[in-house]
């Protein structure tokens, strides 16, 4: 049981370390982060980890959006934070991925 928890924490920190690398003014998608850690089909896992990120430290989770550039539903502050960083928006709920998607 202890090994499973350690692996889970290692995965959590692997995801968060990628999120930490997203530069100000850019965004990444959940799927993009999943791919960068070798778990291409686990975009939802990335979302789940990010929803609990506050328990692991301070990370720029506001820089992560879905594959269409949509902001997280119900997280009003995300759009404010992204606009403050100069991220171009298509509308009030979508960033313009063509102009601001992170290219690691």
Query: pTM of this prediction?
Result: 0.91
Select which of 12, 19, 49, 61 is catalytic.
Answer: 61
CATH number of 46's domain: 1.10.10.10
- What is the reported pLDDT for 57? 94
Q: Report the number of distinct structural domains present in the chain.
A: 1
The span from the CA of 103 to the CA of 99, in Å, is 11
- What is the reported pLDDT for 2? 54
In the chain the first and final C-alpha atoms are separated, in Å, by: 35
Residue 61 annotated in active site: yes
Residue 41 structural domain: 2-100
Spans in the chain with pLDDT lower than 50: 1
């Amino acid at each position: 049981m202890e090994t499973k928890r350690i692996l889970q924490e290692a995965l959590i920190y692997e995801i968060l370390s990628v999120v930490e690398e997203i530069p100000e003014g850019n965004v990444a998608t959940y799927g993009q982060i999943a791919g960068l850690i070798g778990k291409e089909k686990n975009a939802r896992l990335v979302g789940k980890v990010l929803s609990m990120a506050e328990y692991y430290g301070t990370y720029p989770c506001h820089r992560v959006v879905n594959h269409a550039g949509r902001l997280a539903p119900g997280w009003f502050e995300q759009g404010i934070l992204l606009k403050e960083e100069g991220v171009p928006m298509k509308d009030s709920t979508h960033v313009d991925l063509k102009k601001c998607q992170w290219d690691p």
